[in-house]
Amino acid sequence: MKNIMPFSFPPFSLGALSLDDTLRIYQPTAPANANNINSDNPNDWKQAIIEADIMLDDVLTKLGYRGDSIGDKLKRAEPADFSTLNEAWEAHKVRNQIAHSGSTYPLNQHEANRVIQMYRKVFEEFYYL
């Protein structure tokens, strides 16, 4: 007997899907530099965050959120359908600061790990990891 999991993601409903079906829909694409967060180089940590944000965009698109940017997609999300919405926003904001400040953005390994953990929570909510 399959486990049935109800989903209701805007702007459409996937209905009740088995865990196997859900995992097939949300197949993750592992970032090329997934181990960057374990590096001693701050630029590698920044790259890991940027790659996690690309994965976030992929998740949001697969969930049916539309928009020109990740911010637009997150604005369309409802907390009732997306329990890690605050984590997604916070992580994405750090990514934006990195993207706009480049090498001058101050990032320590503790903060990099905290941001990656926020992305991980989002991905786990939607069975992306």
The predicted pLDDT at position 39 comes to 81
Domain count, the chain: 1
12-52 confidence digits (pLDDT tens): 344 444 444 444 444 444 444 455 677 888 888 999 999 99
Q: Which domain holds residue 59?
A: 4-125
How far is the C-alpha of 57 from the C-alpha of 62, rounded, in Å? 9
How far is the C-alpha of 45 from the C-alpha of 43, rounded, in Å? 5
N-to-C CA span, the chain: 23
Contact 49, 95 (CB under 8 A): yes
The predicted pLDDT at position 41 comes to 87
How far is the C-alpha of 57 from the C-alpha of 65, rounded, in Å? 9
74-117 confidence digits (pLDDT tens): 999 999 999 999 999 999 999 999 999 978 899 999 999 999 99
The predicted pLDDT at position 40 comes to 84
Given phi > 0 = left and psi -120 to 50 = alpha, else beta, which region is 6? Answer: beta
